[in-house]
Structure 1
Amino acid sequence: MTRASAPPLLLQLQSADSSSAQAAALRSLKNETIGHDQRKESWIRWGIIPVLANILAARQPSGKGPASAEHSGGSRLRYPTSSEDEACLQAVIILGSLAQGTDARAGGAAFLSPIFSSGILSALLSILSAPECPSFFVCPILRTLNNIADRLPLQSSAKDTRLADLLFSNDHIACLAHILSQDYGNHHNQAAIELAASLVGKLCTEETHKAVLAECGVLDALAVKVASFIVAQGFVLPGAEAHVQESGALGSLPTPAPAGAKLAPILRAITVIIEHSKWRAEHFLSSPGILTVFPKQLPEFAPTDIKKGPWGSTYLSGSAVPRHAGASPLEHLLPSVPLAQNKSPANTPNFPPLGHQGTTHHRRHSQSISTPMSVYDTPTSEDEENPIVPWLLYILRTESGMVRLMAARLVTVLFRLGLTKKRRVSMLCYVLIPILIRMLDKDYEVTGDDGVQYGGLIPSSERLREEAPFVLATLVIDDFELQRHAADGNAIKRLSQLLKETYNPVQEAIRPMWHAEGEDSASSPPESLPAECRLGSPGFSPIHCHVMRYRENILKALAALVPFKDEYRKAVCENGVVPYIIDSLKPCSDDQLADTTSPKNTATHGNPTPTLLAACGAARMLTRSVSVLRTSMIDAGVATPLFVLIKHPDIEVQIAATQVICNLALDFSPMKEAIISADILPTLCEHAHSPSTKLRIESLWALKHVAYNSTNDVKVRIIEGLGPGYIRQIITQDPITALAKRGLDEDMENNGGVGMGRANSAREQVDLLNPMETAGHDEDLKMADTMPPSKMSLDMFLPDATRRRKLALHGNLDQTTQARQDDIAVQEQTFDLLRNIICGPGASEMIEHLFKTLGQDLILDALADKLRPRSIQLPHRREASGHRALSVPTEILVSVTFVMIHLAAGLPWHRQLLVSHRDLLRYLMGYFNHSHRDVRTNCVWVVINLTYKDDASEEEGCRERAFRLRAMGVMDRLASLGDDPDLDVRERTRTAQDLVNSLTHA
């Protein structure tokens, strides 16, 4: 077949002999397509996208490059003055209309495929990034990009970062900084700023993109926009004008934001950039815009404390005490609230820790003081807070709609990152949580419609209700006090009802594409057309995506409310929501993904990947309860969908499902036998070899639980499934050497040793290594360059060298720290697995099996190597002081000493192997006074097991080992533990002393 005859208008476009004729044809095409949805598909198939791409490419300047700070005079033009610019502008508008697609309810996702295939977006961004880009191009291009960004999630459940990769590339990202750095001078600038901020809020999901947006000046430019609103509202701190010329400030107060300016897109953009990174958040708080309106308050001294020297210089008297300037005046605008009490959960979770340490979950608690009410908290040097926090709290109390929600989200992120007062939790309990819970109501009133942000696909009211549970989840995730207030506010019941409602069938009539009779009868089949002339999949409807995101966020909120208290987990079950959580674990089938023209949100339709991840999180929290696991979760059939998800194509789903299976595999769980009988062990062993470190860790964790108290044949299957070679490789690698290869020299310069955090029993990372907490590079904390007075230009939004270096350094350290955690966790879980393999019934047989399959000497040498003291030569230091001692990670010490405990509990010849090894016990002697109680306890237990006699036939062997231990100095080590602060350590120590003394003094 041949392509259908092209319409005369297309031929006119292709054969236009002048730009004015081309512009006229494009105006006709615009009038024909805009508002006439049924014609857009035909124009795509006729090849209009390549034609538009050629027109836009012709407008590109010869020299590519990011936008400069100062545009030429032509850039200030509001309307095209040449036919070439007019033609280009019409092409941009037509492209925006095509990106919008057909009926708004259908979403227009099908039109994205030809747009991306054509390369037209690169031409579009090159125009926007050109130094001489006229201003009349800016808003149409930004609207087109926003139309595309709005519809990217409608294509499929997979994340699409193609537009973000283009926009946030080195070639184009500076144009965003330039647009956002403009003053709110007129309506055009205002619209451009809000459109650019909306793009950042929609597209910035990747860590690499967030980092580059902070480094290139976008975050600082957004901070100035926030400062403009603070100026307009009259909240600049008193006396700030006197500091505008100081280093790090703007040189003058920002221009006030106009009355019609939208704050919500600015707050959203800032939030998505700084979330999950304390360094980026601090970069925002230290930006020139924030420092200008909220200058840092320095401690003051009483006049009597300031003395004058003989040469006119001043000095402080010996009794001078600094007086802090006091709380921010903004605190007086907030209500007085009762101070939250520092209460622990009424009953500790009866779910045993997933690890052996019994690590407590790190969470922030408010501190109670004697006064029952607090108007505001006076910060101390250890409890400082930027005034933007009370300003955000004021905004969320006085504003409504999306501005209120975005203020809540930003203050939540700052709270989560530890950048608010420790006692700010009281205000969050009594002010923020009730607002978020109120937003869950169907009758919650949302004023105004923010079409800039959502492209008209769903109302702002629906988007607000969709996002409110997510903000609530982020707020309460690891704080019991906040969870208690949310639960007392009936949040669990409301969220449970909302989750059920997401399964009510959504009726949405989508208007089918209309074709004139015979219009396409002679056209080529789609497969024969070029990619830029073929429509893609129709995609999901906007309402379907909304319901799925709503369900996802509700599941996150439920999971965040119940990690610590069985009472809350039981409340979820009593509200009848467990079957709906199980339904949320079922993925979409391939045939349902192929037909996405109408909402499919019932239990039979399944769920996209993000919803599956959220459902796994909720199931994991609920299965932490013994009673819930044994009743509601088993009755609802939690295991069946998890056994499917563990083999899901998406590796993140595999990880999330394995985390739930970790809980199901515990010894008290009735699901443990189901896991073994369902032949899940081969899958877990296969995943333990995954390139994904997270999946390896979770799989080893689950296998560790399966191995505990299982029969020896199950343990042998695990060893064979993992492979002896794999286990040897893991236990013999040196994680400390790996640290040096990962750039340990940088932290060593800033720390005396290496400290490692670990994952807690709920598998969240807590107490992560923070190498820069005690950094001594003060010069990096200072603003090196003074900003030019009163003159606003793009250059001031590029962070100065020291701020940029600090930001990049911290970003690298965050990645390095996580990599270390992963390396250590894999080895920790492998040693824990070996520990569970050689304990319980048949332990002696399994010790011998391990010695045979892995190698007796290899195992003992590996244990000794983990206990070996080590140091590292710091770069550029050749003298003796250039060596720095390295601390073996506590997690590894605990795991290794547990293995030694069980070897020492084996047969007599197993015990003799430990004593006979040239290094093992000698190295162990260095850890009896370790700072961690579990390490101290385990050292003592090794002594007990080596000297404890089960019967009279073992007395001679025990006596020989006792003399060997005494010769190594074990009695001195034990004597040093006699006054140990831990009762268990003291009791075990007395037992060990009695055993050694009875054997050596007999």
Structure 2
Amino acid sequence: MTTSKYEESIKELVSTDDAKRLKALRFIKNSVIGNKTKKDLYIKLGVVERLVEYLSLSDPEAYGLKIQAATILGSIAYGKDENAISVVAFGALNPLLNSLRLPPHNNLTEAIHQRRKLLEASTRALKSIFSSSKVSKEQVFMDGHIEDIVALLEGTSPVILLETQNNVSSDSLSFAMIAEFTAAIVAKCCDTPEQQMELASAGVLKPLINLLYSNCIKAQEAALDALATLCRENTEIGKMVVGGSLTQDKQQSCIETILEFVKEKCPKMRLIAATCLTNLYRTGAFSESTDSIVLVVLPALVKLLSEPTGDVQEKAPLVLADLIKDSEDMQKAAFEAYAIPRLVELLATLSTKDSNSADLMLGVPGVGSLAKRKQKIRENCLIAIAAATLAKEECRTQAIDQKVLPYVVQALQSEYPNVRLAACQCAKSLSRSVSNLRTSLVDAGIAVPLIKLLNDSSIVIQAAACGAICNLVLEFSPMRKSVIDGGGIEHFVEFSRSSDPKLQLNGVWALKSLLFKSDLPVKKAVMKVLTYNALIDLLHQPAPAIQEQALEIVRNLVCGNQEAIEDVIEGIGKDDLLDVIESKLEDTFDMDVDDEDDAAVARTLEPALFIVVNMSSGPEGPKMALMSRPNITNSVFRHLSHDNPAIRAAATWCMINWTWKDREGQQEGLKERVRYLRDLGAEQKLRVMESDSCRDVRDRAMTALEQLMAASS
């Protein structure tokens, strides 16, 4: 049986002749670089195990062999998750990380110089391995490897800071690559806040910032990327970066330098710098004026949406979404910078039937097929549009006017789950507009694909679709009937029983929205499927968010005529219903809770008060039933002094309905309620509330006081 030259090269690796081994390694290296088929072949032939053995050989005899072994491992791992996982599985990480350790030396730069070729190959290999999100980073944080990484950055940055772009020696080029690859390793190993802090505490920030002042573009990009990742959602590190102590003896601050990078010609550099500033801005540690972000970063991101370079078009929409998603001011700035029209234009390019012209807009393909990259850009554009249209009506109008809806409807039916998910998020933001619900969204036919997604194979997408539909079933929406006819009630009830927290919450929320200002037949149809026993279970769920929406369901059920109120009293049981109301109104008293817990309790308190309001808006029986529970009455009275004006207003509405005189036959009940309220001190309290800081509370208090006094006369 003949042996292939590739199998022969593997056999040569076990030779005792170093020259033969080195020749075999070079042959393997040349075979695998840029060749996916050969990489897979050599993995099957067992080359990785041999290479790991080479890396574990002692210096200096095996120095040349180790360089070749590290280079091959990096090439095999590059570009494919499965290959990176195979390299790690065969034990390559430890010897590669160990090769970063510098021998004892008084001068870091000299120590690096002695091993620069091996360091260059090993850092490149580690960068390739850690580029896979499926590879664990834990080993980096063991056995002093972080200190080795910091030493490499500290030892390389002084050398490349002295070089100019027009006069780079081979040594300096090697140092620049070591710095670049090491910074890239840092960027790939910040998956958790703990990892971020461990790297920052080890001293990685200062040498990374120093690299920004070098003339090596690749090193600058890698350092910026590392800084962006280190400070992402980490206020403490954000403060370290912008604090100034890390940039001593520099003519301009770190932030000023990064702002200059945003103006560079290279699109990739502009994107990374914009990402870094966006992450710093989101930590709240950004010490410069927000105007710098609005005037420099935001327009740069909008411009990058039209840059067909590498993966810039893919990443720019996500950075833009991060920048604006939590700020109405930023969303307004995005509106003024025409970010939404640019995003819609990019979606249109991706949807064109002329694939050749679409391909030209995507630039140089990155890792993965062109089709997958198109879908990733589509996904990210939809996420950015969802962020841009979340809060402001003019932004939603701009998106509708730019004809975004056909692309959203198309994306809801995509074969790619992440695109469907992003389209759901976009639909949810756009459906927050009452005018859009009545016109554009109906015309676009958005309800049908959303209803279909309630059966999606992904629970996450089911939850997102349900969240979007919450806005489609409100009383003013013409799509309410379509959702009900499409089996919406059954789906929402099913979701309300889910073990998935997000799906359950959105299911209960959708039921709440469906019942908002609904007529009696809709209420009966919902409760026939949901059942009152299940509603009681939801009212006692441990999650405050579920309790809040369940209370909102009761609030909406008892909003209306006498029959609606009586149905709920009969369905839950009068005593059980009063027990629930009593417990929810008392929850904020005598509790040692932090601000977050207190806020959660307040969210359940408001709907509980409005259940009292709605039950007290009609017949005498429910009013007197509520007043028969002193704990309910006393709690309502105490909530007139609540810190939250919305709670004070709700409690004042209770007072209005309790003192309302609608029929002569109810005089005795009214007088009894008024006597009780006056004994509690209602008159004095309402007079004080006439000067409340909230206008709504003041107006309601004046009405309640007028009624109280009229009923007392």
TM-score, length-scaled by structure 2: 0.84
CA distance in 2, matches of 1:498, 1:269: 28
Please identify, of 683-692 and 544-553, the stretch whose mean Cα deviation from structure 2 is larger: 683-692
* The one of 414, 436, 443 aligned to 1:635: 443
1:757-776 → structure 2 map (5 Å cutoff): none
5 Å-filtered alignment, 1:420-569, equals 420=286, 424-442=289-307, 461-504=309-352, 506=355, 541-569=368-396
Residue 275 of structure 2 corresponds to residue 409 of structure 1: yes
Residue 572 of structure 1 is matched in structure 2 by 399
> Per the alignment, do residues 621 and 497 of structure 1 end up closer, same or farther by CA in structure 2, a change over 3 Å counting?
same
Give how far 1:721 is off. Answer: 5.7
Question: What residue in structure 2 maps to residue 94 of structure 1?
Answer: 72
Task: Identify if the C-alpha distance between structure 1 residues 201 and 643 changes in structure 2 by more than 3 Å, giving closer, same or farther.
Answer: farther
Cα 1:703–1:19 shift into 2, 3 Å: farther
State the AA in 2 paired with 1:96. G
Q: 1:143 is matched by which residue type in structure 2? A: R
**Residues 840-851 of structure 1: matches in 2 within 5 Å?**
840-841=560-561, 842-851=563-572
Name the aligned partner's letter for residue 830 of structure 1.
A
Give 5+ residue unaligned stretches, structure 2.
104-111, 160-171, 360-365
What is the distance in 1 between the residues matched to 2:98 and 2:540?
56
CA distance in 1 between partners of 2:226 and 2:50 (Å)? 34
Q: For the residues of structure 1 that align with 2:540 and 2:609, how far apart are their CA atoms?
A: 15
After superposition, the Cα gap between the structure-2 partners of 1:543 and 1:957, relative to the gap in structure 1 and judged at 3 Å, is same
Report % sequence identity.
25
Whichever structure has more helix as a proportion of its residues is: 2
Counterpart AA for 1:93: T
Whole-angstrom CA distance in 2 between matches of 1:90 and 1:732: 64
The reply to whether residue 665 of structure 1 matches residue 473 of structure 2 is: yes
Measured in 1, the distance between the counterparts of 2:531 and 2:152 equals 57
1:858–1:923: structure 2 CA closer, same or farther, 3 Å change rule? closer
CA offset at residue 617 of structure 1? Answer: 2.6
Residue 82 in 1 paired to residue 61 in 2? yes
Q: Equivalents in 2 of 1:35, 1:566: separation in Å?
A: 50
1:957 maps to what in 2? Answer: 669
Contact persistence 2:97–2:140 (CA under 8 A): no
Instruction: Compute the displacement of 1:581 (Å).
Output: 1.7
CA distance in 2, matches of 1:850, 1:633: 36
Q: What secondary structure is seen at the aligned counterpart in 2 of 1:928?
A: helix
Do the aligned partners of residues 664 and 542 (structure 1) sit closer, same or farther apart at CA in structure 2, a change above 3 Å counting?
same
Separation (CA, whole Å) in 1 of partners of 2:379 and 2:476: 30
Partner SS state of residue 310, structure 2: helix
Conservation of the 8 A alpha-carbon contact between 1:724 and 1:854: no
CA distance in 1, matches of 2:143, 2:704: 65
Following the alignment from structure 1 to structure 2, what is the Cα–Cα distance between the partners of residues 431 and 32? 46
Shift of 1:490: 3.6
- Which of 799, 805, 826 lines up with 2:546 in the alignment? 826
Q: What's the CA shift for 1:440? A: 3.1
Aligned to 2:263: 397
Shift of 1:917: 1.2
1:948 aligns with 2:669: no
Letter in 1 for 2:26: R
Classify the secondary structure of the residue corresponding to 2:8. helix
Classify 1:391/1:143 alpha carbon distance in 2 versus 1 (closer, same or farther; 3 Å).
closer
> Does the 8 Å CA contact 1:665/1:675 hold for their aligned counterparts?
yes
The letter for the 2-side match of 1:431 is V
Shift of 1:23: 4.3
Partner of 2:579 in structure 1? Answer: 858
- Greater relative contact order, per chain length (Cα 8 Å cut-off, separation 6+): 1
* 8 Å contact from structure 1 (residues 688, 697) kept in 2: yes
User: CA distance change for structure 1 residues 211 and 544 in 2, over 3 Å: closer, same or farther?
Assistant: farther
Q: Distance in 2 between matches of 1:425 and 1:180?
A: 31
Change (3 A) 1:680 1:854: farther
Q: Using the alignment, how far apart are the partners of 2:54 and 2:209 within structure 1?
A: 38
**2:576 aligned counterpart, secondary structure:** helix
Instruction: Assess if the C-alpha contact under 8 Å between 1:219 and 1:273 holds in 2.
Output: no
Once the two structures are superposed, residues 164-201 of structure 1 have per-residue CA deviations (whole angstroms, 9 ceiling, x without a partner) of: 45546687555444433434234333212211222343
The question of 1:270 aligning with 2:227 is answered yes
Match status 1:618 vs 2:426: yes
The one of 826, 833, 837 aligned to 2:557:
837
C-alpha distance in 2 between matches for 1:887 and 1:496? 38
Q: Kindly tell me: are residues 259 and 940 of structure 1, through their superposed partners in 2, closer, same or farther at Cα, counting changes over 3 Å? A: closer
Q: Is the contact made by 2:96 and 2:126 (CA closer than 8 Å) also made in structure 1?
A: no
Question: 3-state SS of the aligned residue for 1:924?
Answer: helix
Residues 34, 550 of structure 1: alpha-carbon distance in 2 compared, 3 angstrom cutoff: closer
Contact 1:211 1:273 (C-alpha < 8 Å) held by counterparts: no
Give CA-to-partner distance per residue, 1:750-800, whole Å, 9 cap, x none: xxxxxxxxxxxxxxxxxxxxxxxxxxxxxxxxxxxxxxxxxxxxxxxxxxx
Structure-1 residue corresponding to 2:181: 195
Post-superposition offset of 1:5? 8.6
Which of the numbers 161, 181, 191 marks the counterpart of 2:134?
A: 161
1:501 CA drift (Å): 0.7
Q: Shift in Å at residue 499 of structure 1?
A: 0.8
Pick closer, same or farther for the CA change 1:293–1:824 going to 2, 3 Å. Answer: farther
Aligned to 2:124: 143
For the 8 Å contact 2:659–2:707, the answer to whether it is kept is yes
**Conserved in 1, the CA contact under 8 Å of 2:146 and 2:202?**
no
Alignment partner of 1:221 is 2:204: yes
Q: Specify whether residues 265 and 726 from structure 1 end up closer, same or farther in structure 2 by C-alpha distance, changes over 3 A only.
A: farther
Whether the 8 Å contact between 1:831 and 1:896 is mirrored in structure 2 is yes
Q: Is the 8 A contact 2:209 2:254 kept in 1?
A: no
Verify the 8 A CA contact 1:220 1:287 in the aligned structure 2. Answer: no
What SS does the corresponding residue of 2:587 show, helix, strand or coil? helix
The separation in 2 between residues aligned to 1:177 and 1:31, in whole angstroms, is 32
> CA 1:435–1:608 in 2, change beyond 3 Å: closer, same or farther?
same
1: CA distance between counterparts of 2:497 and 2:445? 29
CA contact (8 A) 1:548 1:608 kept: no
Distance, in Å, in 2 between the alignment partners of 1:916 and 1:642 is 46
For residues 112-164 of structure 1, give each alpha carbon's deviation from its aligned partner in whole angstroms, at most 9, with x where no partner exists: 56445x433444555346676955433223322333455x4xxxxxxx43244
Q: CA deviation at 1:974?
A: 1.2
Displacement of 1:918 in angstroms is 3.4
Q: What is the CA-CA distance between 1:971 and the residue it aligns to?
A: 1.6
Q: Which moved more, 1:32-41 or 1:630-639?
A: 32-41
Letter in 2 for 1:583: Q
- Over 3 Å counting, the alpha-carbon distance change for 1:961 and 1:405 in structure 2 is same
CA distance in structure 1 between the partners assigned to 2:627 and 2:50 by the alignment: 82
1:665-685 CA distances to partner (integer Å, 9 max, x unpaired)?
222112222222222333333
Residues 1:678 and 1:226: Cα distance change in structure 2 (over 3 Å): same
Q: CA deviation at 1:289?
A: 1.9
RMSD: 3.8
Deviation string 1:598-653 (CA, Å, 9 cap, x unpaired) is xxxxxxxxx341x3333223222211222322333223222233234344444443
Mapped partners of 1:436, 1:581: distance in 2: 22
Deviation at 1:430, TM superposition (A): 3.5
Equivalent residues in 2 for 1:177-326, closer than 5 Å: 177-184=150-157, 185=159, 186-202=172-188, 204=190, 206=191, 208=192, 210-217=193-200, 220-229=203-212, 232=213, 257-258=214-215, 262-286=219-243, 288-290=245-247, 292-293=248-249
Check conservation: 1:847, 1:903, Cα contact below 8 A. no
How far apart, in 2, do the equivalents of 1:562 and 1:541 lie?
Answer: 30
Q: How many residues align?
A: 679
Paired residue for 1:701? 509
- Paired residues for 1:781-796 under 5 Å: none
Structure 1 pair 584–171 and aligned structure 2 pair: CA distance change class (3 A) = farther
